[in-house]
Amino acid sequence: MNAVSHKLGENIMGKGIIQKVLEKHIIESKYKPGEEIGIHIDQTLTQDATGTMAYLQFEALGILHIKTELSVSYIDHNTIQIGYENADDHRYLQSIADKFGIYLSRAGNGICHQVHLERFGKPGKTLLGSDSHTPTAGGLGMIGIGAGGLDVAVAMGGGPFYLTCPKTVKINLKGKLKPWVSAKDIVLKILDIFSTKGNVGIAFEYGGEGVKTLSVPERATITNMGTECGVTTSVFPSDSITRSFLKAQEREQDWKPLQADTNAEYEKVIDIDLDEIIPLAAAPHSPDNIKTIEELEGIHVNQVCIGSCTNSSYKDLMTVAHILKGKKVHPQVSFVVSPGSKQVIENIIQAGGLTNLFSAGARFTEPVCGFCIGNSQSPLNEAISLRTSNRNFLGRSGTKSAKVYLVSPEIAAAAVITGKITDPRNLGIKYPQVEIPEKFYIDDSLIIPPPKTPKKIEIYRGPNIGTPPSNPPFPENISGFVTIKVGNKVTTDHIVPAGSKMKYRSNVPKYAEFVFEIIDDTFFTRASKIRDNGKHNIIVAGLSYGQGSSREHAALGPMYLGVKAILAKSFERIHTANLINFGIIPLTFQSDENYDALETGDQIEIHQAREHLKKNESFPVKNITKGTKFQAVYHLSERQRNILLAGGLLPYTKQTSKK
Ligand code: MIC
Ligand code: SF4
């Protein structure tokens, strides 16, 4: 692999795509990588698992109507409906959409990111989504950013979205992929180069001749998994390929060209030769644990799942359908297909792909997240599961002992036939080159547009819907215990699991019972006891704390349990914002020794924490148990410190709007 990195000259002043779009949307401060900016958001998306809380918060903000150009509420995560909770939440979301002027994409219509690409995304616009894979829209030349639900609620109300203006890395694609190598392998290669940590404050912008060889869904696979690197967003140019895709969606009017200036300036430029990429996989339990398929060949496979927002497009499924034509699923393999949207299903029906997949033995699920989030199709104990999704964190499949490998649809299809990890180049099948239709079959009947004239709507609230818990202002002193000490790369799936527990998303006291369950199932009881004794809980963590999803419950749950500070070696972007929004201070260690010296159970005192925060001073941390002291630091804007002082974004917004 030719992955060269070089810095461009200082005197070159052109602009990249990200700079162009951000500059058009900045409403507070100026475009300056590394500095906090406030941007205007054109579109928002929510999904039901984060959306219920986001809309409860939107209601709490007291805003009467959305102020964005477009907001869409998707129902795609919690659709299993064992018990009334999911269905109640869906009804709540529908009544909210009607009341506040939001489009509702009903259960069965598809996964938010796939549907947004198909029906709503527009080049050059900004999209804020309460889901970490919102950058998928970057495949269309849109700046998509994932955030916590509360930030999305504020943006829906017309408020700025604050972020650190990203430093842009240009990924220069050269050449063309070889047969049996696909977009998933490109992004796995990028994960191999960048890993899942250390990329906070960076954005990826794609360019180069190789871009022309990739269709919009392939570009979207790549921007989707930029999220796994922890970057703020990933964007492709908007060109004639984007235009053809939008035309096929009967939305050519939404197209506009978007290219970087030839002399654009970047933080760094990485060259990737597409011809040199080979089939890859992310081995358990992290998307950056990259291996070549050659290294893994022969491993027996128990389950193959094709779908998720990464690889569930028409092109993905038709490629698999061609590979499996006339073939049957291996007897030891459970083969699951979860298409990205109703539109994908209808188009593969028309193209004959569904028949191939069915007769090969596929078990079809609704077009939803399902298997990706451990919400269905958990594999058997100790299983090897091959998935085309984007995350393979421990336990995320719903089976803690399972080992999940992330692969392309081509590799997944090969394993369906052979029952083993197989290099598809050795199958003796001609590689199917699937073209995007000139016109998709389109039926938007599962999208409910908002009423043209405001109606009097009664909001439906089932018994599972609680009010968002409140938080007192930041305390004078932090006084409590290290309730848990964790290592590097702890994800939000470790902090608060999804899967079968996700139905309690709108019921924080109940959902909080599962905080850290996957690492230490005594956490809830111990933390509750400390909180009930009037003391604070403190979490100690290693590098890259809070990787993965945007779920604000990974901050809300700990907030409810009386966590006041997290002491970590480093934090990921969305989780940092969520912690601040819920009044928990993200503190960093100045040396590894300070991390090493702390243990679960240590008694901690931080005197005059509030005063130090007001003055933007580091925190003196006293370990009473060990009789030691050290300083913990934070790098927060004045706005972020004021949010923390108020106890979180909700109380802060209420305070500031009264002034
Ligand atoms: C995920 O892929 O982990 C999710 C479920 O889509 C999350 C959102 C959530 O937890 O509801 C995400 O990626 O943000
Ligand atoms: Fe859904 Fe999985 Fe995509 Fe998250 S990553 S939005 S759970 S399909």
pLDDT in tens, 368-399: 999 999 999 999 999 999 999 999 999 999 99
Same domain for 421 and 290, yes or no, is yes
Rounded Cα gap, residues 262 and 570, in angstroms: 35
Report residue 658's pLDDT band, with 50, 70 and 90 as the boundaries: low
Average pLDDT over residues 220-225: 99
What's the pLDDT tens digit per position in 517-564? 999 999 999 999 999 999 999 999 999 999 999 999 999 999 999 999
CA of 88 from ligand 1 middle (Å) equals 20
How many beta carbons lie within 10 A of that of residue 401, not counting itself? 12
- Structural domain total, the chain: 2
Q: Does the pLDDT of residue 6 top 80, yes or no?
A: no
Same domain for 524 and 648, yes or no, is yes
Same domain for 484 and 380, yes or no, is no
Domain encompassing residue 555: 478-658
Single-letter amino acid, residue 86 = N
Give the residue from 486, 506, 497 showing the smallest Cα distance to 548. 497
Residue ranges in 253-406 assigned as alpha helix (H) = 293-296, 314-323, 342-350, 353-360
Average pLDDT of every residue of the chain: 96
Name the pairing type of β-strands 36-39 and 585-588: unpaired
Let me know if residue 634 belongs to a domain.
yes
Give the residue from 581, 584, 545, 542 showing the smallest Cα distance to 561. 584
> Angle CA(384)–CA(390)–CA(393) in degrees, nearest 5?
60
Q: Output the pLDDT for position 615.
A: 98
Q: Output the pLDDT for position 454.
A: 65
Give all strands (DSSP E) within 363-500, no chain letters.
363-364, 384-387, 403-406, 447-448, 478-485
Return the best residue to mutate from 80, 372, 500, 549 for the ligand 2 pocket (most ligand atoms within 8 A of CB).
Answer: 372
Cβ neighbours of residue 504 closer than 8 Å, sequence gap 6 or more:
85, 464, 510, 511, 514
Report residue 659's pLDDT band, with 50, 70 and 90 as the boundaries: low
Indicate the helix (H) or strand (E) that contains 522: none
Single-letter amino acid, residue 207 = G
Closest Cα to atom 1, ligand 2: which residue? 369
Cα–Cα distance list, 239 to 116, 253, 640 (Å): 19, 14, 38
Same domain for 421 and 489, yes or no, is no
Whether the CB of 308 sits within 6 Å of ligand 1 = no
**Ligand 2 atom nearest to CA at 49:** 7
Residue with the two structure tokens 């890859």 = 280
Same domain for 402 and 502, yes or no, is no
Q: Is the dihedral of CA 442, 445, 446, 447 positive or negative?
A: positive
Cα–Cα distance list, 562 to 2, 157, 203, 646 (Å): 49, 29, 34, 16
Rounded Cα gap, residues 622 and 630, in angstroms: 7
DSSP state of 278: -
In this structure, what token pair is assigned to residue 52? 């219920």
Percent of the chain clearing pLDDT 90 (strictly above): 93
Same domain for 485 and 391, yes or no, is no
What's the pLDDT tens digit per position in 426-462? 999 999 999 999 999 999 999 999 998 767 889 999 9
What's the pLDDT tens digit per position in 255-303? 999 999 999 999 999 999 999 999 999 999 999 999 999 999 999 999 9
Backbone angles phi, psi at 29, to 5 degrees: 70, -170
Whether the CB of 227 sits within 6 Å of ligand 1 = no
Same domain for 484 and 622, yes or no, is yes
Whether the CB of 498 sits within 6 Å of ligand 1 = yes
In this structure, what token pair is assigned to residue 480? 């409590």
Q: Please, is 118 exposed, middle or buried when counting C-beta atoms within 10 Å of its C-beta (0-12, 13-18, 19+)?
A: buried
CA of 479 from ligand 2 middle (Å) equals 38
Same domain for 422 and 498, yes or no, is no
What's the pLDDT tens digit per position in 187-211? 999 999 999 999 999 999 999 999 9
Q: Output the pLDDT for position 466.
A: 82
Name the pairing type of β-strands 70-74 and 43-47: parallel
Q: Output the pLDDT for position 12.
A: 56
Rounded Cα gap, residues 45 and 549, in angstroms: 15
What's the pLDDT tens digit per position in 464-483? 888 888 899 999 999 999 99
Average pLDDT over residues 15-31: 98
Rounded Cα gap, residues 42 and 124, in angstroms: 10
Whether the CB of 549 sits within 6 Å of ligand 1 = yes
Ligand nearest to the CA of 306: 2
Ligand nearest to the CA of 49: 1
CA of 165 from ligand 2 middle (Å) equals 26
Cα–Cα distance list, 299 to 235, 247, 333, 423 (Å): 35, 43, 12, 11
Name the pairing type of β-strands 126-129 and 167-174: unpaired
Given its phi and psi angles, is residue 380 left (phi above 0), alpha (psi -120 to 50 degrees) or beta? beta
Rounded Cα gap, residues 361 and 438, in angstroms: 29
Closest Cα to atom 2, ligand 2: which residue? 372
Whether the CB of 231 sits within 6 Å of ligand 2 = no
Let me know if residue 355 belongs to a domain.
yes
Ligand nearest to the CA of 112: 2
Let me know if residue 90 belongs to a domain.
no
Whether the CB of 133 sits within 6 Å of ligand 2 = yes
Same domain for 420 and 491, yes or no, is no
Report residue 485's pLDDT band, with 50, 70 and 90 as the boundaries: very high
Cα–Cα distance list, 8 to 13, 262, 492, 565 (Å): 10, 12, 36, 40
Q: Does the pLDDT of residue 7 top 50, yes or no?
A: no
Let me know if residue 297 belongs to a domain.
yes
CA of 370 from ligand 2 middle (Å) equals 8
**Ligand 2 atom nearest to CA at 47:** 6
Q: What is the CA radius of gyration of the chain?
A: 24
Let me know if residue 43 belongs to a domain.
no
Whether the CB of 390 sits within 6 Å of ligand 2 = yes
Whether the CB of 308 sits within 6 Å of ligand 2 = yes
Q: Please, is 443 exposed, middle or buried when counting C-beta atoms within 10 Å of its C-beta (0-12, 13-18, 19+)?
A: exposed
Residue with the two structure tokens 């906070």 = 200
- Supply the CATH number for residue 295's domain: 3.30.499.10
Return the best residue to mutate from 390, 393, 502 for the ligand 2 pocket (most ligand atoms within 8 A of CB).
Answer: 390
CA of 392 from ligand 2 middle (Å) equals 12
Rounded Cα gap, residues 658 and 656, in angstroms: 5
Closest Cα to atom 4, ligand 1: which residue? 549
- Supply the CATH number for residue 599's domain: 3.20.19.10
Which of 391, 426, 461 is a domain's end point?
Answer: 426
Indicate the helix (H) or strand (E) that contains 185: helix 183-194
Rounded Cα gap, residues 10 and 12, in angstroms: 6
Average pLDDT over residues 4-24: 75
Same domain for 639 and 504, yes or no, is yes
Same domain for 579 and 652, yes or no, is yes
Return the best residue to mutate from 89, 373, 387 for the ligand 1 pocket (most ligand atoms within 8 A of CB).
Answer: 373
Order of strands across the sheet that contains 403-406:
290-292, 280-282, 403-406, 384-387, 303-307, 334-338, 363-364
Let me know if residue 514 belongs to a domain.
yes
Q: Please, is 97 exposed, middle or buried when counting C-beta atoms within 10 Å of its C-beta (0-12, 13-18, 19+)?
A: buried
Residue ranges in 236-341 assigned as alpha helix (H) = 240-248, 293-296, 314-323
Which of 408, 426, 444 is a domain's end point?
Answer: 426
Whether the CB of 397 sits within 6 Å of ligand 2 = no
How many beta carbons lie within 10 A of that of residue 257, not counting itself? 13
Q: Output the pLDDT for position 88.
A: 95
Q: Output the pLDDT for position 456.
A: 82
Same domain for 421 and 484, yes or no, is no
Let me know if residue 638 belongs to a domain.
yes
Q: Output the pLDDT for position 654.
A: 82
Q: Does the pLDDT of residue 4 top 70, yes or no?
A: no
What's the pLDDT tens digit per position in 573-616? 999 999 999 999 999 999 999 999 999 999 999 999 999 999 99
Indicate the helix (H) or strand (E) that contains 49: helix 48-61
In this structure, what token pair is assigned to residue 296? 């893994």
Closest Cα to atom 3, ligand 2: which residue? 309
Burial state string for 595-609 with b = 16 or more CB within 10 A and e = fewer than 16: beebeeebebbbeeb
Average pLDDT over residues 145-151: 97
Whether the CB of 70 sits within 6 Å of ligand 2 = no
Give all strands (DSSP E) within 346-474, no chain letters.
363-364, 384-387, 403-406, 447-448
Rounded Cα gap, residues 159 and 423, in angstroms: 50
Which of 392, 426, 460 is a domain's end point?
Answer: 426
